[in-house]
């Protein structure tokens, strides 16, 4: 583990290094970590900013959209002055303005069956902050097949959900398809662009998502694998429910039938962040 921090880095991360659960060793783990953020939107904005501030050494950002005026009510990595700029580049600029010590890799591409496995293989932890089921299932499948930890957050209106899926590391831990075996039929579940979302709700959920990423990298606390966090902002109520692995899961079960990403080949999967 490379513990070679500059004077400035030691000062920058001093409130982390003070924590017994982090310390110099933990900060070195954060520096060595590679995290991929899929969707530089309402979830991806606070997520990317906190990961960069925390000193995650390499952060990839996948998004094929450009910043629009209607994004700015919640996507706080972007600015009015950057309307029209690719979101991955805009989020990279915001993250580097906070912490120039980290490396940001913007990928202005649409995630597809052809590039998902290769992109995901380059990172240790994958974060899903997208707003459509085509991309969510593609990411979930690619993470299980590529043996990568998936930290997945979702928001709609005043509600948020969060979980960690790492069946390759957690005996009995579920994958995303143990929870949702198949995408819902088109048009049955609205997206945020159809149903709306309170901006601050995405901020809380993206920040919780960042916290779970840091816990996974540091190996501290109780992992959210095997549990689903549900937040009802209108009622101000958090609850967690148990999730179990489905032994018959088509993706992670004993007789799994999903062996590659071919079922996603004909699906158009825009990153389309929340
Ligand atoms: Zn499964």
DSSP character string of the chain? ------HHHHHHTHHHHTSTTTHHHHHHHHHH-EEEEE--STTHHHHHHHHHHHT-SEEEEE---B--GGGTTT-TT--GGGTTSBHHHHHHHHHHHH-TTSEEEEE-S---TTTHHHHHHT-SEEEE-BS-HHHHHHHHHHHHHTT-EEEEEEEEBTEEEEEEE-TTTSTT---HHHH-SSPPPTTSS--HHHH-B-HHHHHHHHHHHHHHHHHHHHT-S---BTEEEEEETTTTEEEEEE----TT-TTTSTT----SSGGGTT------B-
For ligand 1, the distance from its centroid to the CA atom of residue 105, given in whole angstroms, is: 30
Q: How far is the CA of 177 from the centre of ligand 1 (A)?
A: 5
CA atoms in the 13 A half-sphere facing the CB of 198: 12
User: Quick one: pLDDT at residue 193?
Assistant: 80
253 alpha carbon – ligand 1 mean position (Å)? 6
Distance 181 CA to ligand 1 centre (A): 8
Compute the distance from residue 254 Cα to the ligand 1 centre, in Å.
Answer: 10
pLDDT value at residue 174: 98
Structure tokens at 110: 């649409």
Distance 90 CA to ligand 1 centre (A): 35
Distance 82 CA to ligand 1 centre (A): 40
Query: From ligand 1's centre to the CA of 202, what distance in Å?
Result: 26
**What is the 179 CA–ligand 1 centroid distance (Å)?**
7
Q: Model-level pTM?
A: 0.96
State residue 192's pLDDT score: 78
C-alpha 184 to ligand 1 mean position (Å): 17
pLDDT of residue 195: 87
Q: Tell me the CA–centroid distance for residue 175 and ligand 1, in Å.
A: 4
**How far, in Å, from the CA of 166 to the mean position of ligand 1?**
10
**Residue 194 Cα, ligand 1 centroid: separation in angstroms?**
29
With vertex at residue 269, the alpha carbon angle to CA 64 and CA 126, rounded to the nearest 5 degrees, is 75
CA 137 – ligand 1 centroid, Å: 12
**Residue 35 Cα to ligand 1 middle (Å):** 22
Q: What is the mean pLDDT of each run of 10 residues along the chain (274 residues)?
A: 87 98 98 98 98 98 97 98 98 98 97 96 97 94 98 96 97 96 86 88 98 98 98 98 96 95 81 76
160 with 197: CB under 8 angstroms?
no
- Expressed in angstroms and rounded, the spacing between residue 7 Cα and the centre of ligand 1 is 45
pLDDT at residue number 164: 98
Phi-psi region of 32 (alpha: psi -120 to 50; beta: other; left: phi over 0): alpha
Rounded distance from Cα 169 to ligand 1 centre (Å): 13
């Amino acid at each position: 583990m490379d513990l070679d921090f500059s004077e400035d880095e030691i000062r920058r991360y001093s409130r982390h290094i003070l924590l017994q659960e982090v310390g110099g060793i933990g900060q070195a783990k954060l520096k060595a970590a590679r995290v991929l953020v899929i969707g530089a939107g309402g979830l991806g904005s606070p997520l990317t900013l906190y990961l960069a501030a925390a000193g995650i050494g390499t952060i990839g950002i996948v998004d094929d959209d450009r910043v629009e005026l209607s994004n700015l009510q919640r996507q706080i990595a972007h600015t009015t002055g950057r309307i029209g700029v690719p979101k991955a580049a805009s989020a990279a600029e915001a993250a580097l303005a906070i912490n120039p010590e980290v490396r940001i890799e913007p990928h202005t591409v649409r995630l597809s069956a052809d590039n998902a496995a290769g992109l995901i293989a380059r990172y240790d932890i994958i974060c899903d902050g997208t707003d459509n089921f085509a991309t969510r299932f593609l990411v979930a499948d690619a993470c299980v097949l590529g043996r990568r930890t998936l930290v997945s957050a979702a928001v709609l209106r005043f509600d948020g959900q969060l979980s960690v899926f790492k069946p390759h590391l957690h005996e009995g831990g579920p994958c995303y398809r143990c929870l949702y075996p198949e995408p819902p039929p088109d048009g049955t579940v609205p997206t945020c662009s159809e149903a709306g979302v309170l901006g601050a709700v995405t901020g809380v959920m993206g920040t919780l998502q960042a916290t779970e990423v840091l816990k996974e990298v540091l190996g501290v606390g109780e992992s959210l694998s095997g549990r689903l966090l549900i937040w009802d902002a209108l009622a101000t109520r958090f609850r967690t429910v148990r999730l179990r692995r489905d032994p018959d899961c088509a993706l992670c079960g004993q007789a799994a039938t999903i062996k590659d990403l071919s079922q996603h080949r004909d699906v158009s999967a825009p990153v389309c962040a929340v």
